[in-house]
A and B are shown apart, each in its own frame.
Chain A
Amino acid sequence: MARKLELQVGETVAVATMLENEAPKTCKAIWDNLPIENEAHHAKIAGPELYFMAIPKIIIEEMENPVKVHQVPPGTISYYPVRPYIQVFFGDLVQVWNVDVNRFAQITENLEGVKMAARRAWTKPGERILLRRGE
């Protein structure tokens, strides 16, 4: 059975499923280093995206499951090796950003809650974000 993650933005909790078939090594690297907590920072150009720093805990060199950033489905959680960040995408992205992200999980419960919490991070920065192992 696929491993589950819990993503908490502020007080909002969502559940994500790890994409272990598509990105097994990435999933393991993430799973082995959870929990990871930081402030959520909102993307400035791409649109509906939160990001937070993965280093120093997690450094992944391989682009195991590359997906063009403007083609990721809402609810995608990915690792961006160009900037060692974990990203959470919660809507349709601006088409100008033609780069790959390493997609390793998909939010399967409460994406709507994440969207609202993420919008707060845009208007009032500083929301806490926590990625931990799910049940």
Chain B
Amino acid sequence: MSKRSGVETFLRTLDEKTATIWKEPPSELKKILEPAGPYASRFPIVIYSYWNANALAGDLWILRRNAKSGVSLSGLIPITKSIIDSNAVSFQVYGLTDTFDLLKEASTVLGEVKDVTEYVAIAEKLVVYLNRLGMSGWLDLLVPWQKLNSAFEEALQTGQLGFGVQKLVTGPDKS
């Protein structure tokens, strides 16, 4: 029996993690929702994590499309690794250490990719995972969008915005 490659092993790991995250919120979310949290600022961490997951999934989808349309992997892979590494650090800062570990593993494994099929498989599976974590999943459900939107509208109307930006709503101060 032939030994499984690093890419194959990673894809299998990713499938398992995605199957788990599909059914249940990941335990790392519980960690960032503890009252103290990594930096005692739960909401910014949730919203930043949401945005990082969303942005990274979007970028990976674009890169995947480029690979499928014939852009050279020798150019795409270093860019992909840089984008993943950069986002991974953000997830680490937020305390989403499982996602950080997964992304670091993805970045390493990308160095072993042999062809477009492997590259596309990694990108697609990461997009599924990140979407389930973020915009189509748990982090999106953690954000009270309607209440936030209402609170922002109220702040706009009642002059509760930061010094210097209220004039964007009310016009220049004529006093």
Contacts and interface: CB of A to CB of B under 8 A. Distances in A.
Interface stretch (A6-14, A27-35, A97-105, A120-128): A120-128
Contacts of A41: 135-136, 140-141
Interface in B140-162: 140-141, 145-146
B58 A83 contact: yes
Given A41-B136, A84-B61, A123 B131 contact: no
A123 B131 CA distance: 21
A52 B132 CA distance: 10
B131 A55 contact: yes
A125 B140 contact: yes
Contacts of B88: none
Given A82-B61, A83-B135, A84-B61, A59 B145 contact: no
Q: Would you call the interface of chain B mostly helix, strand, loop, or mixed?
A: helix
A56 B120 CA distance: 13
B124 A56 contact: yes
Contacts, number: 44
A122 to B, nearest CB: 5
In this complex, which of A42, A55, A61 has the most chain B Cβ atoms within 10 angstroms of its Cβ? A55
A51 interface: yes
Interface in A57-84: 59, 61, 82-84
A92 interface: no
Question: How many A residues are at the interface, by size bracket?
Answer: 20 to 34
Contacts of A38: 136
A59 B124 contact: yes
Nearest to B148: A44
Interface string A82-93: 111100000000
Interface in A21-57: 38-39, 41-42, 44, 51-53, 55-56
B136 to A, nearest CB: 4
B3 to A, nearest CB: 26
A116 B58 CA distance: 30
Nearest to A124: B146
Given A42-B145, A83-B58, A123-B146, A55 B135 contact: no
B93 to A, nearest CB: 24
Given A41-B135, A55-B131, A122-B145, 5 more contacts: A51-B136, A53-B128, A56-B125, A61-B68, A123-B146
- List the 4 closest A-B pairs by CB distance, nearest first: A53-B136, A56-B128, A123-B146, A125-B141
Interface of B: 18, 57-58, 61, 68, 124-125, 127-128, 131-132, 135-137, 140-141, 145-146
14 contacts: A39-B141, A41-B140, A41-B141, A42-B145, A53-B137, A55-B131, A56-B128, A59-B124, A83-B57, A83-B61, A85-B136, A122-B146, A123-B146, A125-B141
